[in-house]
Amino acid sequence: MAHEDCIFCKIIDGELPSAKVYEDEAVYAFLDISQVTKGHTLVIPKTHTKNIYETPPEVASKLFERIPTIANAIKKAYQPAGMNLLNNNEKLADQSVFHLHIHLLPRYGEDDGFSFNWQVHTDDYSQDDLQQIAKEINEAF
């Protein structure tokens, strides 16, 4: 169901324009206006869901089922050297539109406009530390 004041719901409904890449009964894919790299695409469920936390399994399942096909179409069109998939959840994690979306970012080179900046802390965690963290998450299911 469309969510009031959600720009992605309005895009699905055609109330706002978009450059559509793909559509079926469950999923809509369109170009991100920011075009971080050429062909940068957003894949969204037609069912409004705020982000990954609120997404029912059947909505997630249909969304992710379509992604390999869409990724392969982008790959065929532009032959990128690689592709990153990205999903931001909540403001701190750079979510700015609160309708679940997966970014497909074709990669053309190291200076193509997209980069990771994450720090590796392998040396800070022992095998016991990792087991403890995994246990705590597992207990939260």
CA dihedral defined by 9, 13, 14, 16, rounded to 10 degrees?
-20
What residues between 10 and 39 interact with ligand 5GP by CB under 6 A? Answer: 16, 18, 30-34
- Measuring CA to CA, which residue among 71, 102, 98 is closest to residue 9? 98
103 is catalytic: no
Contacting range for Zn ion; rule: CB under 5 A; set: 1-9, 15-23, 28-36, 61-69: 1-9
What residues between 95 and 124 interact with ligand 5GP by CB under 6 A? Answer: 95-97
Dihedral class, residue 90 (left if φ above 0, else alpha if ψ from -120 to 50, else beta): left
User: Minimum Å distance from CB 28 to Zn ion?
Assistant: 10
Q: Would you tell me which residues interact with Zn ion (CB under 5 A)?
A: 3, 6, 8-9, 48, 99
